[in-house]
Structure 1
Amino acid sequence: MRVYVPLTLDSLAEADEAGLVPSDLDRVVADDESEEGEYAALMTAADLSAELLAAAGGGPGRRVVLAADVDDVDGAVPRRAWAALHVDTTAGADPDDDLAWFATQEIPDVLAGR
């Protein structure tokens, strides 16, 4: 099942270092497997990422959503399950903007550009 995990660049760095997303982080699951359902889940996770940024108080940042394919939607998400990364191209992007897509192999490059 595909899950969308709302993150910040800092929590992505932590997950990348640990090699997994801990089970206590939120995740969003699409209502169905349609393209519209998947997109809605992605954008819901993007909204949750924006809330994480606001709660951190660091000002506008870049929304980050990790997409992963898992068997257990409530468990930790190991690196091998990570499917793609979706990130704002600039800090403080319009909340209606789509997120850029990155392959998981590009995570170090995304983090280097923080």
Structure 2
Amino acid sequence: MRVYVPASLELLAEWLSAGEVPWPAEPISPADEDEEAEYAALMTAADESAELIGGAGRRVVVVAEVASEGRPIPLRRVVAAHADVEDFTDPDDDLAWFATQELPELVGGA
């Protein structure tokens, strides 16, 4: 199952240090594997990220493939992250895609 976890750059840095992503209270998953459903899940998580950061900063969404629910997600299950390239101003803006090996650099620029 694919889950989209809303975050901030600061939270992502904490999770990278901890080696895991906490299981979200309300996980966001696409309704199916259709590209449109996945995009809708991504943008829902981006909206929640905007709420987390209070509207100022860069939205971050961590994407992971998990086998079971309710447990912390090991970093090896994270497949990518999406984030704004600069402080966001429009909730309809797309997020940039970051490979897992780019995540330390992404948070280093926080």
Structure 1 runs (4+) greater than 3 angstroms displaced: none
Q: Which runs of 5+ in 2 are unaligned?
A: none
- Classify 1:66/1:24 alpha carbon distance in 2 versus 1 (closer, same or farther; 3 Å): closer
Say whether residues 1:93 and 2:81 are aligned partners.
no
Fraction of identical pairs, as percent: 55
Native 8 Å contact 1:27 1:45 kept in 2: no
Alignment of 1:1-114 (within 5 A): 1-54=1-54, 60-114=56-110
How many correspondences in the alignment? 110
**Cα distance in 1, alignment partners of residues 76 and 59 from structure 2:** 22
Q: Tell me the CA shift for residue 74 of structure 1.
A: 2.5
Q: Tell me the CA shift for residue 94 of structure 1.
A: 1.4
For 1:28, what is the secondary structure of its paired residue? coil
User: How well do the aligned residues superpose, as a CA RMSD in angstroms?
Assistant: 1.3
**Cα distance in 2, alignment partners of residues 31 and 24 from structure 1:** 17
**Cα distance in 2, alignment partners of residues 74 and 64 from structure 1:** 21
Per-residue CA distance 1:29-53 (angstroms, 9 max, x = gap): 1111100000000000000000101
Compute the TM-score of the two structures, normalised by the length of structure 1: 0.91
Q: Which runs of 5+ in 1 are unaligned?
A: none
**Cα distance in 2, alignment partners of residues 105 and 24 from structure 1:** 23
**Cα distance in 2, alignment partners of residues 38 and 24 from structure 1:** 17
